[in-house]
Amino acid sequence: MRRTALLASAALLAGLLPWAATARAADDPAPSPVDRFEGEVPFAAQPAEGIFTWGGDADDPPALRLADRADAPEGGRVLAGTYDISGYGGFTHDFAATAPAHDWSGRQGLRLWWDGRNNGRKITFEIKDGGANGEASELWTTSFTDDFTGWKQIELPFTDFTYRTDYQPVGGIDHVLGLKEMWGYAVTLPAGTKGDFALDDVELYGRADQALRASVTTDAPVHPIEQGRTAKVKVTVATTGDQPLTDPVTVTYATADGTATPGTDYTPVSGTLTFPAGTASGTARTVEVPTRRDRAAEPAETIPLRLTVTGAKAPAETPQIVIDAHGLPYLNAKLPVQKRVADLLSRMSLAEKAGQMTQAERGAVGQGADIAAYGLGSLLSGGGSTPTPNTPGAWAKMIDAFQLRTRATRLQIPLIYGVDAVHGHNNLSGATVMPHNVGIGATRDPRLAYQTGAVTAAEVRATGVPWDFAPCLCVSRDERWGRSYESFGEDPALVESMETVIQGLQGRANGKDLARDDKVLATAKHFVGDGGTAYGSSTTGTYTTDQGVTTVTRAQLEDIHLAPYREAVDRGIGTVMPSYSSLDITGDGRGAVKMHARGDMINGVLKGRMGFDGFVISDWNAIDQLPGDYASRVRASVDAGVDMMMVPYTYKEFSTALADEVKAGRISEKRIDDAVSRILTQKFELGLFEHPYADTSGAAAIGSRAHREVARRAAAESQVLLKNTGGLLPLKKSEKVYVAGSNADDIGNQTGGWTLTWQGASGNTVPGTTVLQGLRGAGGNVTYSKDASAPTDGYDVGVVVVGETPYAEGVGDVGNGHDLRLSAADRAAVDKVCAAMKCAVLIVSGRPQLVGDRLDEIDALVASWLPGTEGEGVADVLYGKRPFTGQLPVTWPRSEAQLPINVGDASYDPQFPYGWGLTTLTPVPKGGTATLRDLAARAAAAERHGDDRTGRALVTRARLLVQQKTGGHLTQAVSGPFADADHLLLTGRYGKAVQKLAQAYRAA
């Protein structure tokens, strides 16, 4: 009795002591500490080993401290903290980037002590595997729930960790949790309410027995095969750490019931594969399943191959052998597309049609099983949603893996994959990044716009992507809008002239080039009026302008915002994306209505009056901005004419709701058939039924010298010389040049938003050449001081490169943390350099910046826009390798109070008018009013004879005369007719354009 009581007391005591040792197998190694939180690991940041916090905004990172605790499970201190997270936040322990990675491959898992609050919140725990360091590693994640009180030891076996698909850093990694190169761990704390936490003693435990560290995989989840051929499924055994098997592994296999009929469609098979002890990791065996040929035309049929594994982890999915659909008319490439579409549509169920109208984000579908389960018609990569590594090959491999999933569907309709390649294949690291559209508009060069589109299409298609959500055909009427750089300009005539980019992307207007390996389906966006939203009208978060309300008369709508879409439809645009914004047409009595619900515009104008025969794709989650419950939002958008819904993470809900609405009779089957027919037509035109997988034959040209030469020329032609006192530019190579400014040597700022990520980022983000590198490469005698802190004595000229940092969409709206003024650091750099020497100021930005208060001290002023990756193009015009030829695509205001200000306004007195742009290396013609009268007569004659080339040349001569006479002293009397002349030029009215310039000349 006494012995029993003593044992009971000991057991009770052990249960009360939180640090009591956990029982372990006799042959398990002792735990290995990772963090004891006694001060051995400091609070620091890369490249030093340490613990650091992070979060979505300034308030989200938790507050951490090493707290003395008498009840600490290990030692005397614990890691404690408080948090109040609205977005996301947590902390990381990164191992030093300069030290070797840790090898955890021999252990069962990681464990830690957590001080429970019993609040039911999920705590996410990540480990970092492979790559160069903790911030360039794969993230593998698991979680536990705080549903207890007091200290508890949480065990996290490595087998519980899964690969994160929603975010991965750029880097060359393998998607395998190898555990041999571990760089640290991270804890994500729960958001939404305030809380506190404490943890202690993070350590490795256990021994990685084979059942935990060995796995069996198959070469693919789906194995398509032509009828009559033999399917071959490769079964591979692999171990964590690539060690040989310590115990045998057996795999019993057998074909199971699918939609194929055993004995008729295939020969059933069964058996056992044995991998003896000592088998090398990576060893494979093959299971063969013969199929049988018949004469019947049939949809695809499936044969599951059941695998039962002993001694290792089984595959996550049962592999499917698929006998390809065959003999059906829609599979016959010789038939007209219209007949193929009609045949396929007649065979589809309602669920299959709903799937074709649904687009999901790649990060939402994981490995892609839902593609077949929901019959999804499309996937996309949002800004920054990329494979790891972010290489052309990885893109193609990823998209092919998703496309493979469609083979397991009954009708094997291929996916159409889309990306926002808005200035080159900007999601891909190493791609050629073009100037943003505002810079392309400044070139006034339709042939160059075509070439930039062609380069973009070739690089996009070479990675397996057949669809580009570009070009943006907005007519930007207010530069406070955070998307204004996505516009070619403020004049619809300028936007229309740049729509040659559509042919660069798609090829011929009849769609006959879409199946080529260097063309993509293009998207005209955002229909209609997104560039006219009023400042302060947005109801989206803290946005001020983006996604707001465009209030116009019907005539303004037609002449300004609809005009570019008429041109796009004539050019054969394949898809159109409605705008997030609302449209309020004066006098129609409807008020402001979201464009995704305006059937009068989508069905009535776009599809009806304009004859658009492609399909309409919604913007990202735009359906959620409509009023009413989910079902009514589905009805409103689909009935308005939206054919495919971009529902990145709610694809299940949308496809189900859509089918339910049709079953209930609230959406007509005729409307569904129209939408699906439009989608299928483009898939057939793209050749996806014959060639669903990536054609990477053009991948070697991605980022090639030839492609970058197009971007370099675009960067050069986009530079607008606004002022050039004393002919300071072009620079001479004999001059000593002092370069300063925040944007001189920052390729992230130079490329802007929509570069690798949605918002873009400052710094060394993408391969390319900065402006500073371009100047040095041009052979100039250049000294650089970013903040102009270096001595300024002894220089002939200063070049100060200033402007904006990256942003996208409403995040960049003026009033949402942004304005149109230079930063204090930029202003200081301009002041210091321009006070010490003659200076040229380059403004790298997505929109005009207010510089009037410093204009007198600046000798030369250049609007560089966002020139992309080829800073050499900027250097080309600065050093005179190419002439300055760019012209303002938007009006440059004197003050923010003038906004909005646009060509044609009754009151028009800007700093620089629309169309302004000095030139170099080109002699200015001599003459005066008589010369202008002669030019006007000749221009009118050229107009009558349809001689556009001569007409444009004559207007250009007249423009140069006016610019020379003004000497930069611009008045309202000069600016108004000068800007009007450029609009008249773009609309082919050459005689009247020169007459307007003559009016400006007389007023100068």
Helix (H) or strand (E) holding 182: strand 182-188
Q: Find out whether 703 and 431 touch, Cβ atoms under 8 Å.
A: yes
Q: What is the dihedral of CA 846, 852, 854, 856, to 10 degrees?
A: 130
Q: Find out whether 701 and 458 touch, Cβ atoms under 8 Å.
A: yes
Strand partners, 268: none
The total number of residues written for the chain in this structure: 1004
With CA atoms as reference, report the closest residue to 361 among 304, 297, 427: 427
Q: Find out whether 610 and 566 touch, Cβ atoms under 8 Å.
A: yes
In the 3-class helix/strand/coil scheme, how is 851-903 assigned residue by residue? CHHHHHHCCEEEEEECCCCEHHHHHHHHCCCCCCCCCCCCCECCCHHHCCCCC
The set of residues, in sequence order, having a beta carbon less than 8 Å from that of 175 and lying 6+ positions away, is: 138, 163, 388
Nearest-5° Cα angle at 386, 380 to 392: 100
- How far, CA to CA in Å, does 365 sit from each of 371, 651, 809, 937? 7, 9, 26, 64
Instruction: Give dist(CA 718, CA 863) in Å, integer.
Output: 8
Instruction: Give dist(CA 35, CA 963) in Å, integer.
Output: 69
Mutual angle of helices 630-640 and 651-663, in 10-degree steps: 80
- How far, CA to CA in Å, does 115 sit from each of 69, 155, 756? 11, 14, 40
With CA atoms as reference, report the closest residue to 569 among 615, 533, 529, 531: 615
Catalytic residue status for 486: no
Query: Do strands 230-239 and 121-129 pair parallel, antiparallel, or not at all (unpaired)?
Result: unpaired
Residue 30 CB coordination number (10 Å): 9
Instruction: Give dist(CA 246, CA 4) in Å, integer.
Output: 42
Of the listed 181, 200, 619, 643, which one is catalytic? 619
In 668-788, where do the E strands start and end?
A: 720-724, 736-740, 781-784
Residue 569 CB coordination number (10 Å): 20
- How far, CA to CA in Å, does 913 sit from each of 398, 738, 887, 947? 48, 30, 10, 27
Instruction: Give dist(CA 802, CA 828) in Å, integer.
Output: 11
Phi (first) and psi of residue 737, to 5 degrees: -115, 130
Q: Which amino acid is at 670?
A: K
Residue 527 CB coordination number (10 Å): 30
With CA atoms as reference, report the closest residue to 716 among 885, 954, 473: 885
With CA atoms as reference, report the closest residue to 869 among 987, 628, 703: 703
Instruction: Give dist(CA 678, CA 655) in Å, integer.
Output: 18
Instruction: Give dist(CA 321, CA 306) in Å, integer.
Output: 11
Q: Find out whether 797 and 878 touch, Cβ atoms under 8 Å.
A: no
b/e string for 489-519 if b means 16 or more Cβ within 10 A? Answer: bbbbbbbbbbbbbbbbbbbeeebebbbbbbb
Of the listed 352, 445, 499, 809, which one is catalytic? 809
Q: Find out whether 896 and 819 touch, Cβ atoms under 8 Å.
A: yes
Instruction: Give dist(CA 653, CA 643) in Å, integer.
Output: 16
Residue 695 CB coordination number (10 Å): 17
Catalytic residue status for 809: yes
Catalytic residues: 619, 809
